[in-house]
């Protein structure tokens, strides 16, 4: 286990978006090791930046010593969502003083992050973690364009794609994607948000992100 860094207070703010301001929550680390934008599930299905999985993931990343940003999507379709991810990533990059930036997206947030990475080859993102990647009902585009380390955290009972289906869908990535399974969890990770966050920490370590070792 790592020794968690002290938690900073959450700052509620608005950041510039492609079609107006985006509501966001920021935790700033002292001398951050890296930064992460955490994107939530579909807003038309109740997804917000206060989603339990998003909250737990953001908190645990911050405890690593990362600066973290979660935000509320304005748009409801994947194209608008990708623009929102891009705006959040650009804004957070300005705080990081050259430290690596990562994207973490849950469900709809993973689709929007994936699309942003494919549409913007000079995105400046160091790595990508998808949570609950809905491979069964959605087209993931040309994954050969995602030329950064990628990992997926997937419940073994996910209604929108099993880990096996995820592996098949990600066979086109330039480098083998890391798959972290959460045994017995479905797409919503009911009462399992903490386990999803732990899996994200394992995943980011596996793709080379700065994660403290055992002390």
For residues 112 and 210, give the distance between their C-alpha atoms in angstroms, rounded to a whole number: 24
Structural domains of the chain, count? 1
The answer to whether position 84 is within a domain reads: yes
Q: Is residue 214 part of a domain?
A: no
pLDDT digits (tens, 9 = 90+) for 112-155: 999 999 999 999 999 999 999 999 989 999 999 999 999 999 99
Residues with Cβ within 8 Å of residue 64, at least 6 apart in sequence = 2, 4, 5, 33, 34, 201, 210, 211, 212
Residue 6 predicted with pLDDT over 60 = yes
Range of the domain at 176: 11-206
Judged against a pLDDT cut of 80, whether residue 1 lies above it is answered with no
Task: Give tens-digit pLDDT for 12-32.
Answer: 999 999 989 999 999 999 989
Which two tokens mark 160? 């929108």
Q: Is residue 76 part of a domain?
A: yes
**Cβ neighbours of residue 97 under 8 Å, at least 6 residues apart?**
none
Distant-in-sequence contacts of 199-206, Cβ < 8 A, 24+ apart: 199/153, 200/57, 200/60, 200/61, 200/104, 200/129, 200/131, 200/153, 201/60, 201/61, 201/64, 203/129, 203/151, 203/152, 203/153, 203/178, 204/61, 204/102, 204/127, 204/129, 204/151, 206/151, 206/178, 206/180
Q: What is the mean pLDDT of residues 65-82?
A: 89
Q: Please give the average per-residue pLDDT across 190-200, as a whole number.
A: 98
Q: Is there a domain that residue 102 lies in?
A: yes
Percent of the chain with pLDDT strictly greater than 70: 97
Is residue 114, in this structure, part of any structural domain at all? Answer: yes
Backbone angles phi, psi at 109, to 5 degrees: -60, -30
Q: Is residue 160 part of a domain?
A: yes
Rounded distance between C-alpha atoms, residue 94 and residue 90, angstroms: 7
Residue 202, pLDDT above cutoff 70: yes
Query: Alpha-carbon distance 181 to 185, whole Å?
Result: 9
Label residue 214 by pLDDT band (50, 70, 90). Answer: very low
Beta bridge partners of 104: 38, 129
Phi–psi pair at 157, nearest 5 degrees: -110, 25
Q: What is the CATH number of the domain that holds 103?
A: 3.40.50.1820
- Is position 212 within any domain? no
Decide if 6 is inside a domain: no
Closest CA to 152 of 111, 107, 203: 203
User: What proportion of the chain, given as a percentage, has pLDDT over 90?
Assistant: 84
List the 150-155 sheet strands across, edge first.
Answer: 11-17, 20-27, 67-71, 35-39, 101-106, 127-131, 150-155, 178-182
Whole-angstrom distance, CA of residue 196 vs CA of residue 9:
23
């Amino acid at each position: 286990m790592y020794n968690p860094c002290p938690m900073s207070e959450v700052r509620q703010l608005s950041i510039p978006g492609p079609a107006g301001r985006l509501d966001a929550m920021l935790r700033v680390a002292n001398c951050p090791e890296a930064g992460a934008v955490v994107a939530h599930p579909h807003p038309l299905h109740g997804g917000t930046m206060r989603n339990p999985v998003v909250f737990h993931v953001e908190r645990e990343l911050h405890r690593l010593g990362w600066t973290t940003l979660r935000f509320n999507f304005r748009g409801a379709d994947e194209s608008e969502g990708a623009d929102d991810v891009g705006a959040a990533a650009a804004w957070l990059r300005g705080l990081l003083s050259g430290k690596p930036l990562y994207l973490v997206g849950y469900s709809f947030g993973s689709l929007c992050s994936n699309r942003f990475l494919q549409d913007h080859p000079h995105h400046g993102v160091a790595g990508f973690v998808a949570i609950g990647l809905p491979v069964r009902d959605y087209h993931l585009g040309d994954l050969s364009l995602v030329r950064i380390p990628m990992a997926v955290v997937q419940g073994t009972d996910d209604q929108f794609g099993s880990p096996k289906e995820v592996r098949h869908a990600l066979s086109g990535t330039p480098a083998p994607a890391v798959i972290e399974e959460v045994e017995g969890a479905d797409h919503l990770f009911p009462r399992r948000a903490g386990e999803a966050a732990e899996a994200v920490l394992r995943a980011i370590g596996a793709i080379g992100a700065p994660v403290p070792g055992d002390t």
